[in-house]
Every structure is written in structure tokens, then in C-alpha cells.
Amino acid sequence: MSVKNSGMVNAILGVVVGVLLTLTVGSIFKLGRKVKADYTDWRKLNLILQEVNANYVDTVDVEKVTDAAVVAALASLDPHSIYLPPEDLKQSETDLSGNFEGIGIQFNVPNDTAIVLEVIPGGPSEKVGLMTGDRLLKVNDEVIAGVRFPQDSMVRRMKGPAGTKVNVLVRRDGTDIPFEITRGKIPVHCVDASFMLDGRTGYIKLTKFSRTTYKEVSEAASKLLDKGMKKLVLDLRDNTGGYFDQALLLSDLFLEKGDGIVFLQGLHRKREEYKADGKGPLKDIELQVLINEQSASSSEIFAGAIQDNDRGVIIGRRSFGKGLVQEPVFFTDGSGIRITVARFYTPSGRCIQKPYDKDYDYDLYKRYAGGEMFVKDSVKADSSAVFKTVGGRTVYGGGGIIPDVFVPMDTTRATDFYIACTRKATALRFASAFFDRHRSRLLAIEDFDALVSFLDACDISHEFQAFASSVDGISLKPGEWASTEPYMMPQIRAFISRYSKVGESAFYRFYLPVDEAVKIAMKSPSTVSIE
């Protein structure tokens, strides 16, 4: 074949191949239909889902697709408008309700085995004989010890409707003991601890704003008043918030009649202002409020109200900055949404909500990396959002509550030995081993002073050093314990105290003497000078 003819054949073949490719590719698609879509009434979204349901090649899991569409739609609004499937919604409601249904224990997992820290008085577990220090081996024939069983999965297996039964196998003093427990309603407290720091200063640790917050704080404060309290340190660090009405009620305990607490406003929500009624029994108590970067929502409403009214001193680090109001909507299938309907503003007009953008989830890391956790001058105050308290002090908006007294994270006391022990949870596991050796003595102690006397009589310092070396292979450098001991020993004693009947209250009483924010609160005046 000549070159000329060969070229002609190749050209013809190229055309044929091109036509075949066109036919092949074209055969993948059917001719489309044009459907009118309108964004103003959400018609486009509905049409898409209808088209999928009517024409998709396989059977459509309508529940899965619908939930995915809802999650994606809400995520495009703001970080706190969310969809909650039935199980998540139920858990969320339980966390703030003030009670849950289960067996009534608190436990820790220091070494791949759950250990009972507290058997709630009057609860189902106490009634059948579970005790502090029991190791949880099985739940309904499922092994949960020594197999790296997720802690949240343990909780789910032990919780359940009141009246239902669960079988639990525990190990006590080397003996395996089976228990059949009938679940019941268990009270959940939001006040972790309340006691006197000295002859005139009370301390209350509030962990969340649940349905029982106002009642619990009022009762705790009343007992402290009976003990001579003139000044209160209210600890809201790591308190991520909860019910809005509880923040109002708590603020009302301390403010004068007519003092502003908060106002909220949104595109479809008219401005609503909330003020104190002046009937609170703690109006004359000196007040210091501790906050940090994990204090959010209701915690920020309270701290903002106290600060804007010059009612007390806010101590710590800038709060989280969650000032969006979520309104719940419940569906008949047990699911629900929480949709943002307004923003919170402090009495002076500051918006509590920090800006939300693509880096919202990494904000706390950015604060850490930018030095805000360590240096006061690194705190990002918005100079364009300047406001005044009732006394004329300057405060700033831009998100979160900036404290009156800054307390940096303290990394200077973290020796190499301390860091190594923290990574391996050495102190927690030592506390468990110590309890095993002194079980009967610890369980018999019901008074804090008796607990202190017992621990003082033990050589805990040397025992811990030996445990860290022999069990975890962590050795001390020459002179390192002298730097580590003042910071670590109160924590070890605090962990041990949780195994006594004094419980969580003792934990904080041991730990707080090395807490820098509390030490500053003890020394600080209860009003901020106005310049």
C-alpha cells in the first residue's frame, strides 16, 4: 500500500473511531429534562431529593440521604446549628436533665480496667452491694476489662431504662462476683464541690448549667453562709454551659434589682432583655468568678453580667465565645435540630459570639500557638468593639469574656518526670494501686481531716517514686523531685481521695492549693478599680 493510501486509510479510521467514541460516551447519558427551580421557597432542594427518589439506579436509603442533606444544610449556617439523630438527642437531653437512668456508679479506667470510684448512695448498685474499688470485668457476658474497650461503650451498656436488668461481673480482692442490677433513675449533680477555703471565703465548683443548677448552687451557698462565708469563689472553668434560664437564675442571686443580665436579638426574634429582680440572697457577698477558654454559653452570660455590672472580679483566661441562641425542634421519629435563632449580648452590648469561619474548630489551638494562653498582651481584644461597664470601665467585644485578672497557663512546673508520668497516667494508676493496699482504711474514712491525717501518716512520696520507676520505668534526675513534688503530690493525694467516702469534695480540697487562679482569687479584691 502506498504511503498516500496508508494516510487516507488512517484518516478514515480516525473518523470512524471518533464516531464510535462519541456514540459510546453519548450512550451513557439520556437526554435531560429541564425542571424549574426556585431558591426562594427551597424548591430546588426538594426537587433534587424527589428526583433521586424517583430515578436513582438503586434502592435509595431515604433516611440516610435525608439525614446527610440536613447535616450538610445546617453546617453551612453556623457551628452550632445541628441535627441530632434520636440516640444523640436523647443523650444530649440526659446530660442536662439532672438525672439519668442506669446503675448508679462513677468509674475511672486507669489501666484498661474500669474501677468503681463512687457508688451513688441509694442507687441500684449500692442496693445490691457494689463497692468502691470493684473492677468491672463483664457487662451482660461481654468482656470489658483488658481488651481496650471504649469507655463510652461501657457507659452505654450499663445505662438503660429504669426497671430493666443488667448483669455485671466484678473482681474484688481477687474474687469474681456476679451482680444482677435493676436500673433506676440516678441524680446527676452539677455542683462538684463546695467548701470553705478559709474562715471567710467559700468555694463552689459548677460543672454545667443543668435543670438543677440554681437549686444546687443556692443550697451549697446557704451552707457556706452558715459557716461564715463573706466572699465566694465561683469556679466556672471548663463549664460549657447548658440551660439559658439557669444562667438567668444564677445571675439573679448576686445582682441588684434592675441590673441587666443579658439581651438577645435575631432577624426573626425581637430584642428581649432580662434584668435581675433584686431578691437574691447573695447580693452582698464578695464575688470572684473563675473562667477559662472552655467556659462557654451560659457561663459567659453569667460572667458578662457580673463584669458589666461591676459586681465582681472575673479571673482566668478569655472564655470560649459561644453566644448563639439555639432553639430546639423535636421530630416524631425521636430526632431533632437545634437551630440558631438569635445572639446573646452582655448588658453593655457586647456580642459574646466569636467570629466563625473556616478555622472556627481550631480557634483554641490558634490561641495556644499565638501565645494567648501564656501572655496577657497576646489576648486578641477587638479595639473596634469598645464598651463600658456601669461604672465606666472599658471592656471589649469580639467574642468571649476577657477576664479582669489574667492567669496564664503554667508550664514552668512541668518537669521531664512530671510530663512522662502524665503521658502514662502514672499518678492515676498509683492511686488505684494504693487503694488496693489500703482499701479497708480508706473506705472507713468519712471526714476530710481524718483523710488528711491518714495520708500524712503514709510515705506516699517515696511509694510513688518507686512505683513510677518499677512499673513505668520513669526515673528521676538528680534534684528533679524537689521541683516536681510541690506540684505533683497534691494531685496524687487528690486522686487517692476519690476512693474515700469524702470523694470529689476532697479531690478539690487537695488540688486547689496548687491552683494559681484560686490563689490569685484569695488575694484579689472583690472589685476592680475604675481608672
Distance of CA 287 to the CA centre of its chain: 24
Instruction: Provide the pLDDT for residue 30.
Output: 58
**Does an H or E element contain 62, and which?**
helix 62-75
Q: Residue 480: pLDDT band by 50, 70, 90 thresholds? A: very high
Q: Buried (b) or exposed (e) across 179-190, using 16+ Cβ within 10 A? A: bebebbebebbb
Q: With the C-alpha atoms ordered 303, 309, 314, 317, is the resulting torsion angle positive or negative?
A: positive
- Alpha carbon distance, N-terminus to C-terminus of the chain: 102
Range 320-345 average pLDDT: 91
DSSP codes of every residue in 328-360 = EEE-TTS-EEEEEEEEEE-TT--B-PPP-STTG
Q: Does domain 99-187 have CATH number 1.10.287.130?
A: no
Q: Residue 529: pLDDT band by 50, 70, 90 thresholds? A: low
3-class SS of residue 143? strand
CB-based contacts of 39-48 (< 8 A; 24+ apart in sequence): 45/69, 45/73
Range 154-171 average pLDDT: 89
| Backbone phi, psi, residue 21, to 5° | -65, -40
Instruction: Provide the pLDDT for residue 95.
Output: 60
CATH of domain 191-332+344-409: 3.90.226.10
User: What percentage of the chain exceeds 70 in pLDDT?
Assistant: 91
Q: How far apart are CA 455 and CA 459, in angstroms?
A: 8
Q: Where are the beta strands (DSSP E) in 246-379?
A: 260-266, 269-275, 286-291, 313-316, 324-330, 336-345
3-class SS of residue 122? coil
Range 11-17 average pLDDT: 45
Say if residues 114 and 147 touch (Cβ distance below 8 Å): no
Q: Buried (b) or exposed (e) across 412-436, using 16+ Cβ within 10 A? A: eeebebbebbeeebbbbbbbbebbe
> Which of the residue ranges 110-119, 217-226, 303-312 would you say has the lowest mean pLDDT?
110-119
Q: Residue 226: pLDDT band by 50, 70, 90 thresholds? A: very high
Residue 66 has pLDDT above 80, yes or no: yes
Enumerate residues 6+ apart whose C-beta is below 8 A from 296. Answer: 239, 240, 241, 319, 320, 321, 322
pLDDT in tens, 143-160: 999 888 888 888 888 888
> Which of the residue ranges 160-164, 377-381, 443-447 would you say has the lowest mean pLDDT?
377-381
Range 445-473 average pLDDT: 94
Range 265-276 average pLDDT: 94
Q: How far apart are CA 341 and CA 297, in angstroms?
A: 14
Instruction: Provide the pLDDT for residue 266.
Output: 93
3-class SS of residue 493? helix
Q: Residue 380: pLDDT band by 50, 70, 90 thresholds? A: confident
Domain residues of the chain, as ranges? 40-76, 99-187, 191-332+344-409, 416-518
CA distances in angstroms from 391 to 250, 282, 302, 395, 521, listed in the order given: 22, 20, 18, 11, 21
Distance of CA 87 to the CA centre of its chain: 19
Q: What grid cell was written down for 506?
A: 476532697
> Which of the residue ranges 1-10, 49-58, 495-504 would you say has the lowest mean pLDDT?
1-10
Q: How far apart are CA 295 and CA 302, in angstroms?
A: 11
**Mean pLDDT of all residues belonging to the chain:** 87
Residue 430 has pLDDT above 60, yes or no: yes
Say if residues 290 and 316 touch (Cβ distance below 8 Å): yes
Q: Residue 513: pLDDT band by 50, 70, 90 thresholds? A: confident
Residue 32 has pLDDT above 80, yes or no: no
**Does an H or E element contain 70, and which?**
helix 62-75
Instruction: Provide the pLDDT for residue 99.
Output: 63
Q: Catalytic residue numbers?
A: 297, 308, 322
Residue 523 has pLDDT above 80, yes or no: yes
Instruction: Provide the pLDDT for residue 100.
Output: 73
pLDDT in tens, 90-112: 777 766 665 678 898 888 888 78
Instruction: Provide the pLDDT for residue 28.
Output: 55
Residue 303 has pLDDT above 90, yes or no: yes
Instruction: Provide the pLDDT for residue 35.
Output: 64
Instruction: Provide the pLDDT for residue 27.
Output: 45
Say if residues 253 and 221 touch (Cβ distance below 8 Å): yes
Instruction: Provide the pLDDT for residue 188.
Output: 77
Q: How far apart are CA 157 and CA 173, in angstroms?
A: 24
DSSP codes of every residue in 144-160 = -SSS---HHHHHHHH--
Higher pLDDT, 443 or 248: 248
